[in-house]
Amino acid sequence: MKPKLRAKVLINRVRINVQDAVSTSLRSLSPEYFNPLSRADVVLPSVLVIGAQRAGTTSLHEYLSQHPSLFASRRKEVHYFDIHYGKGSRWYASNFPTRKYAEEKAGSSTQYHSFETTPYYLYHPLAPARAAQMLPHAKIIVLFRNPISRAYSHYLNEVRKGYEKLTFADALAAEDERLRGESEKLINQPSYYSYNHQHYSYVDRGRYAAQVEHWLKYFPRNQFLFLRSEDLFQNPGKTLNEIAEFLNIAPFPERDYERLNASVGQEKLDRSIRERLSREFSSHNTRLGEIANRSFDWPD
């Protein structure tokens, strides 16, 4: 990594850590978030939203948090099963509401869940095994966006943060080399962090089928709900009630659901790049549809 980029990354990490520290301090003043005496004191998540990145997970997290039977983690992206696993289970538990608080807030509802949303989980090779060890009965929600749109949105997000200096075409050309050996290092060195794997995986993250098949090695198919991001964007109420049925909770309240964290001022993607990516993703989309038993035939 170049020195200027490394400095920018470090500065951004310090900023995020400060924000998290302030957030943690403020929320610790409320009874719903505190350092528990044991994991038994908190409602560990029974719902995980694992991806995909740039597929509407910020919007979905906010929508879910508005349901009276769903309790969000105190930070949207906890990153425990990918980046922060070394911090231990007590640290993870500290991100969720106390059992006493949840029972009081849920009221007459006999079914309630805490949840977290970390879209890197879908792609990280160690996340499913780690999640299955701690949360074997968790219900897992996955949002899939047209992988071409997702890749370009991912790229624009990295540019906006100052992490990407290449053009989109050059970044795609460099991706294989940037990612070479990184998954293997993550598997063989559990404490290893791969900057390139997290940030420069524009195309590889869109090969959804392989990632889902990896998760299915650790969780049964009936614990998954596979959704299209485009359906959430176009008809959030219908998609949310599909989630409510999956979680066995009351329907979501009828209201206007605003889309959050959408890319703005997005330039039109070069047609030749779009056509090349369409060919690349075609077989992966077909396989995903077979696994999920629903259509993922996105328009080019």
The string of pLDDT tens digits covering residues 215-226 is 999 999 999 999
- Domain membership of residue 216 (yes or no) is yes
The count of other CB atoms within 10 Å of the CB of residue 187 is: 12
Task: Give residue 186's domain range.
Answer: 26-292
Cα 90 to Cα 114: distance, rounded to the nearest angstrom: 16
- Domain membership of residue 20 (yes or no) is no
25: CB partners within 8 A, 6+ apart: none
Tell me the average pLDDT of the chain.
88
The pLDDT score that the predictor gives to residue 87 is 96
In angstroms, the Cα distances linking 181 to 125, 128, 178, 185, 186 are 13, 20, 9, 6, 9
Cα 168 to Cα 273: distance, rounded to the nearest angstrom: 9
- Domain membership of residue 21 (yes or no) is no
Strands (E) across 58-199 are located at: 70-72, 113-117, 139-144
User: Does position 268 have pLDDT exceeding 50, yes or no?
Assistant: yes
- Domain membership of residue 198 (yes or no) is yes
The string of pLDDT tens digits covering residues 133-187 is 999 999 999 999 999 999 999 999 999 999 999 999 999 999 999 999 999 999 9
- Domain membership of residue 7 (yes or no) is no
Determine if residue 248 is left, alpha or beta; phi over 0 gives left, psi from -120 to 50 gives alpha, anything else beta: left
The pLDDT score that the predictor gives to residue 110 is 66
Cα 169 to Cα 173: distance, rounded to the nearest angstrom: 6
Report the CATH number that the domain containing residue 141 is assigned in CATH.
3.40.50.300
Hey, is 77 helix, strand or coil?
coil
* Number of domains the chain contains: 1
- Domain membership of residue 44 (yes or no) is yes
Indicate the length of the chain as a whole number. 300
User: Does position 2 have pLDDT exceeding 80, yes or no?
Assistant: no
Q: Is the dihedral of CA 187, 192, 195, 198 positive or negative?
A: positive
User: Does position 104 have pLDDT exceeding 90, yes or no?
Assistant: no
Cα 228 to Cα 243: distance, rounded to the nearest angstrom: 12
The count of other CB atoms within 10 Å of the CB of residue 89 is: 14
Packing angle between helix 147-161 and helix 168-179, nearest 10 degrees?
Answer: 90
In angstroms, the Cα distances linking 161 to 47, 63, 158, 262 are 29, 25, 5, 14
User: Does position 6 have pLDDT exceeding 80, yes or no?
Assistant: no
- Domain membership of residue 1 (yes or no) is no
- Domain membership of residue 120 (yes or no) is yes
